A and B are shown apart, each in its own frame.
Chain A
Amino acid sequence: MKSLRFLIPLGIFLTLVVFLGVGLHRDPREVPSPLIGKPAPAFALTRLDDPAQTVRRDDMLGKVWMLNVWASWCVACREEQPLMVEFARQKLLPIYGLDYKDERPAAMKWLSSFGNPYDVSLFDQEGRVGIDFGVYGVPETFIIDRQGVIRFKQIGPVTPDVIRDTIEPLVRQLNG
């Protein structure tokens, strides 16, 4: 039985290998959001296309909606945009854009070049609303329910898999 203790290094090592193997399939850089299940932060932002009009968080209560964070300087957003436009055609839920740390003219131009799936785009020039939502890498997408609680966050561009397997079922469920 004394020889059993010589097996300890092997035992510890094999456990380690299992964890490393699992780790290979995770992304160490991805930061999950602590806001899931919590109310969306309050905001009051002007519309991108109309600085005179303001949209507030509470205006959105009572409906399930999607918030997509984008910017004209964001390269990955260009890849995502065709998918967003396609998704918007289904009219599953209102899609609002959050134009993050951008300039109005450049942003408007970008929408006309790459497509505008948004019912409305909100203009967050300083990025403060972005910070409140825990945005750290554009594009990001949120699904918010009727009570104003964040139910889902996608970090990075949405993919067809994510839309089909996560977003559509969730929206249907939240819509009742």
Chain B
Amino acid sequence: MIPEIGHLALWLALGLALILGVLPMVGAWRGREDWMTLARPGAYSLAALVTLAFGCLLASFIGNDFSVLYVAENSNSALPIQYRIAGLWGGHEGSLLLWMEMLCLWMVAVARFSRHLPRPLLSRILSVMGLICVGFLLFMLLTSNPFDRLFPVPADGNDLNPLLQDPGMVVHPPMLYMGYVGFSVAFAFAIAALIGGDLDAVWARWTRPWTTVAWLFLTIGIALGSSWAYYELGWGGWWFWDPVENASLMPWLLGTALIHSLAVTEKRGSFKSWTVLLAILAFSFSLLGTFLVRSGVLSSVHAFATDPRRGLFILAFLTVVIGASFALYAWRAPTVGLGARFALISKETALLANNVLFLVAAGAVLLGTLYPLLLDALGLGKISVGPPYFDSVFMPLMAPTIFLMGIGPLARWKEASVPDLARRLRWAAGVTVVAAVLTGWLAGEVHLVATFGLMMAFWIFTSVATDLWERIRPNGGGLAAVRRQLGTLPRSVLGMLVAHLGVAAFCLGVVMVKTYEVESDVRMAVGDTTTVRGYTFKFNGIRNYEGPNYTAAQAQMDITRNGALVTELKPEKRIYRVQQNPMTEAAISPSLSGDLYVSMGEEVDGGAWIIRVYVKPFVDWIWGGCLLMALGGALSVSDRRYRRKQGGVV
């Protein structure tokens, strides 16, 4: 009964979404107040129906209703409750319902927090979001129904893929989807403004917080995925340039460009057509990602079970949404005003150059991801494009971007002076070089490429420090004056500084771990030790135990340094009973200066085991940096100007 209610709710939602997609939009065009007022209640009702459907599927999972095909494929009665819930988004159909639910949540938020928007604009925005809902609901109802029944009802389910039975995996998809789907808000704002012709600085101010929140969720989602891979997969890799990973990175790059572009449009009224294009692009890449993951066009460990028929539907949906958006852009963008004037050397130009670089970076990732497909489609054979390509292309692209990160915040609006900037940044430049070389030397060896990477990280650190210094000591003055200035720093500035620091921390982590990590593969009998970078790892034997849905062999390891015990680590080898797959659970001892990472290989004769031991310096700075970026975003959004009740001009 419950699955049928859920199914019916989705059909009703489709009807409502169609109404929401059409009436308020036409109402805004024709000036019909009665149709425009339908927008907000329409959004709320649609969200209620989709949430009902979501609740029904959730109930089926929690209640172990294996007569529902999707539940039988992704769950099991022995599965702990939190993974029964997470199983809802463990497969294709359910993850679509999660996408819909997120879209509705964003729609409700827009409806709720946009009283200050002019009615026609809000109507158009909600209509656009309604139309996107139509697309996804049709997709679900026609090709991917999560409520399909299974007869005869199996005694128990297939179980959730053991790789997904992990707290990280419970949170990772919702965070990612909040980001992907959140870009639909900026998209809707852009389309609505293009249609209505009211594209200006005020529009940018309204759009910006929505975009920043979506971006920060996407940042967290990607960071979670990366850190999950690191501790779950057993060899400490954290980014593989897998097509699905790339599908999340591209919207992130465009979203970052969009945030910066919106800042300029808000402040100076410039870049309007460029900002609108970025808003369309960011969401387009989210949709493109959906296509790549679910259509079978690319092979990936992350891909859902693929079906070309579904792929065709998404492609058609993509073509309509993105094609129409670009067509609208081509038609309306030429009429958008130029904004204020600015010199060739200015903050505006720095931000614009930054945008170009991010766009090229996204383009390069897209090129590498799709190139094998391109050649195959042209009948030119099969090649594969792996991490070596992406690493050699992406890093050099990021270098100028990071260089600009140091300059942009310090440059003046409208017109900046190169000698002035050089003078203000000379301390930062000097410290950068010294610190980079010093760090390399302290770590053991100075490598050329690593030094360059470290310089990038330290350049951001020092330029952020310079910026902060200038802001809190504008006229010299003592501690009291500084404290006062700090208090008056707007949250948006603080957010920018924190987010940029996050990037610096990220760079530092990446360079240190890639250059200075050490691995040791050894054969350990009970009592054996191995020493890596001053840490002595001792194998004390195996403890076997039974988990809730698996059997485990757990190694007992002591780690000492200079004779003193640092920690105990207990890596495991598990066999999950239902699917009979063996899984490795690595044991990690994290710290600010690096991780100690141990994972088990195979058992060999004589009761000994192959054990892999790693020392990974500064690896947690990678995800710490991402968290800082997200924190910076959150600080920005909490700025006073967004908390004003009325929507007047600044």
A–B interface present (Cβ within 8 A): yes
**8 Å CB contact of A26 from B312, B315, B330, B377:** B377
Q: Is chain A's interface secondary structure helix, strand, loop, or mixed overall?
A: helix
Give Cα A17 to B323, complex, Å. Answer: 10
Does B493 interact with chain A (Cβ within 8 Å)? no
When the two chains form their complex, are residues A9 and B377 in contact, meaning their CB atoms are under 8 A apart? no
User: What total of chain A residues lie within 8 Å of the partner, measured CB to CB?
Assistant: 23
When the two chains form their complex, are residues A19 and B299 in contact, meaning their CB atoms are under 8 A apart? no
Give Cα A24 to B298, complex, Å. Answer: 9
Least CB distance, B319 to chain A, in whole angstroms: 5
Contact with B along A60-85 (1 / 0, CB 8 A): 00000000000000000000000000
Contact with A along B274-317 (1 / 0, CB 8 A): 00010011001000000100011111000000001001100100
Within 8 A of B (CB), among A7-47: 7, 9-10, 13-14, 16-17, 19-26, 28-32
When C-beta atoms are compared, the residue in chain A nearest to B334 turns out to be A3
**8 Å CB contact of B373 from A3, A6, A10, A28:** A28
When the two chains form their complex, are residues B373 and A9 in contact, meaning their CB atoms are under 8 A apart? no
Does A91 interact with chain B (Cβ within 8 Å)? no
When the two chains form their complex, are residues B334 and A28 in contact, meaning their CB atoms are under 8 A apart? no
Known pairs A9-B277, A24-B295, A29-B299; A19 contacts B330 (CB<8 A)? no
Does B318 interact with chain A (Cβ within 8 Å)? yes
Does A2 interact with chain B (Cβ within 8 Å)? yes
When the two chains form their complex, are residues B372 and A28 in contact, meaning their CB atoms are under 8 A apart? yes
Does B136 interact with chain A (Cβ within 8 Å)? no
When C-beta atoms are compared, the residue in chain A nearest to B333 turns out to be A6
When the two chains form their complex, are residues B291 and A13 in contact, meaning their CB atoms are under 8 A apart? no
Contact with B along A123-147 (1 / 0, CB 8 A): 0000000000000000000000000
When the two chains form their complex, are residues A13 and B373 in contact, meaning their CB atoms are under 8 A apart? no
What residues on B are CB-neighbors of A22 within 8 Å?
377
**8 Å CB contact of B291 from A20, A28, A31:** A20
Least CB distance, A129 to chain B, in whole angstroms: 23
Does B381 interact with chain A (Cβ within 8 Å)? yes
When C-beta atoms are compared, the residue in chain A nearest to B291 turns out to be A20
When C-beta atoms are compared, the residue in chain B nearest to A28 turns out to be B299
When C-beta atoms are compared, the residue in chain A nearest to B328 turns out to be A10
When C-beta atoms are compared, the residue in chain B nearest to A22 turns out to be B377
When the two chains form their complex, are residues A32 and B382 in contact, meaning their CB atoms are under 8 A apart? yes
Least CB distance, A23 to chain B, in whole angstroms: 4
When the two chains form their complex, are residues A20 and B297 in contact, meaning their CB atoms are under 8 A apart? yes
When the two chains form their complex, are residues B298 and A28 in contact, meaning their CB atoms are under 8 A apart? yes
Does B322 interact with chain A (Cβ within 8 Å)? yes
What residues on B are CB-neighbors of A10 within 8 Å?
323, 326-327, 329-330
Give Cα A25 to B306, complex, Å. Answer: 12
When the two chains form their complex, are residues A24 and B326 in contact, meaning their CB atoms are under 8 A apart? no
When the two chains form their complex, are residues B329 and A23 in contact, meaning their CB atoms are under 8 A apart? no
What residues on A are CB-neighbors of B322 within 8 Å?
13
When the two chains form their complex, are residues B373 and A26 in contact, meaning their CB atoms are under 8 A apart? yes
Contact with A along B364-401 (1 / 0, CB 8 A): 00000010111011000110000000000000000000
When C-beta atoms are compared, the residue in chain A nearest to B336 turns out to be A6
When the two chains form their complex, are residues B330 and A23 in contact, meaning their CB atoms are under 8 A apart? no
Least CB distance, B176 to chain A, in whole angstroms: 22
Contact with A along B625-646 (1 / 0, CB 8 A): 0000000000000000000000
Give Cα A19 to B292, complex, Å. Answer: 13
**8 Å CB contact of B308 from A19, A25, A32:** A25
When C-beta atoms are compared, the residue in chain B nearest to A21 turns out to be B315
Within 8 A of A (CB), among B389-418: none
Give Cα A25 to B326, complex, Å. Answer: 26
Give Cα A6 to B334, complex, Å. Answer: 7
Give Cα A10 to B322, complex, Å. Answer: 8
Give Cα A14 to B298, complex, Å. Answer: 19
Contact with A along B324-360 (1 / 0, CB 8 A): 0011011001100000000000000000000000000
When the two chains form their complex, are residues A24 and B312 in contact, meaning their CB atoms are under 8 A apart? yes
Give Cα A115 to B315, complex, Å. Answer: 44
What residues on A are CB-neighbors of B299 within 8 Å?
28-29
Known pairs A9-B329, A13-B322; A26 contacts B376 (CB<8 A)? yes
When the two chains form their complex, are residues A13 and B323 in contact, meaning their CB atoms are under 8 A apart? yes
Give Cα A22 to B284, complex, Å. Answer: 20
What residues on A are CB-neighbors of B280 within 8 Å?
9
- 29 interchain pairs, CB-CB under 8 A: A3-B334, A6-B273, A6-B329, A6-B330, A9-B326, A10-B323, A10-B329, A13-B326, A14-B319, A14-B323, A16-B370, A17-B315, A17-B319, A17-B323, A19-B370, A20-B291, A20-B370, A21-B315, A22-B377, A23-B377, A24-B295, A24-B308, A24-B312, A25-B308, A26-B297, A26-B373, A26-B377, A28-B372, A28-B373
| New A-B pairs, 19, CB < 8 Å, besides A17-B319, A19-B370 | A2-B334, A6-B334, A9-B280, A10-B330, A13-B326, A14-B319, A17-B318, A17-B323, A19-B373, A19-B377, A21-B315, A22-B377, A23-B297, A23-B373, A24-B297, A25-B308, A26-B373, A26-B376, A28-B296
Interface, chain A (partner B; CB < 8 A): 2-3, 6-7, 9-10, 13-14, 16-17, 19-26, 28-32
Shortest 10 CB-CB contacts between residues of A and residues of B: A10-B326, A22-B377, A3-B334, A28-B299, A6-B330, A23-B373, A23-B297, A7-B330, A9-B326, A29-B299
